[in-house]
Amino acid sequence: MSGAHSFIDAQGDSRRLLVVLDGRVKLALLLAALLVNLIAGGLRAPLLLLVLALVLIPAAGVPLRTFARRMAMPALIALVALVTQLFWVKQGNELLQVPLFFWEWSITSGGIQRGLELASRILGGMSVLLFFALTTPLPELLRAARFFRCPPVLVELAMIMYRYIFLLLEEGVRIRNAQRSRLGYADLRSSLRSSGILGGMLILRTFDRAERNFSAMLCRGYRDALTGVTLRPVQKHDWIALALGLVLLAAIFALR
């Protein structure tokens, strides 16, 4: 297992306050932040949400480079949205003429404003989503899903899939290392052959492990009922965090 999730899991009892917050509180604050990002308009509110995420990510114990690496794709999408709006929107004063593909494209003040707003909303929304994803352990997320009436079978499937994705990755790495020790990836031909064998072995071992695990669950009393996720009362510090978060989001909305 690698990435921020393993980092958060490895914190154990020393998890930061922003990590141990109740998943229901985090989910409520996430929805409120996305609502502010959607309806506030302008540039200030989305950019303030981005700055807020940048400030809180280190406070939660997640490295900034992890956050930056995952924000690379949203930043690219924001850049594409900005550029397309420059050439698509023809409102306001004409500021510049750009020769491109045998045409003269005019860039207007309305296009710049619309492009910047769209790009800032993408960055603001994705930053709060990533903050939620990087600082919320899966058990807290599943408890929140159960509280908000998510079907138990979906919660259980999510929990099992999360666990076995990493087992599958570990199995794949182990098989690949064994193949490399036997010169399995020495050239293009052997690489293609080894990759095919790797895929086939992973499928077979996945089915085999699924059968064995399901039999083990039945032996332990599994009867199509969720037993691994239990709800607990919301603690005092969670209520305080919810109140402070809502006040902060209200302030960001007021500064739009």
Residue 100 CB neighbours (<10 A): 8
pLDDT of residue 129: 92
pLDDT of residue 14: 58
Spatial distance between the Cα atoms of 8 and 15, rounded to a whole number of angstroms: 7
Q: pLDDT tens track of the chain, all 256 residues?
A: 444 455 555 555 556 667 778 888 888 999 999 999 999 888 899 999 999 999 988 888 888 888 899 999 999 999 999 988 888 887 877 777 777 777 777 788 888 899 999 999 999 999 999 998 888 888 788 888 888 888 887 887 888 888 788 888 888 888 888 888 888 788 888 888 888 888 888 888 888 888 888 888 788 777 666 555 667 788 888 889 889 999 999 999 998 8
For residue 210, CA distances in Å to 166, 216, 229 come to 14, 10, 21
pLDDT of residue 78: 93
Instruction: Bin 100: left if φ > 0, else alpha if -120 < ψ < 50, else beta.
Output: beta
pLDDT of residue 166: 81
pLDDT of residue 119: 93
Concatenated DSSP letters for 126-158?
HHHHHHHHHH--HHHHHHHHHHTT--HHHHHHH
Q: What is the CA radius of gyration of the chain?
A: 24
Spatial distance between the Cα atoms of 153 and 53, rounded to a whole number of angstroms: 32
Rounded to two decimals, the pTM is: 0.73
Q: Could you give the 3-state DSSP secondary structure of residue 48?
A: helix
pLDDT of residue 47: 93
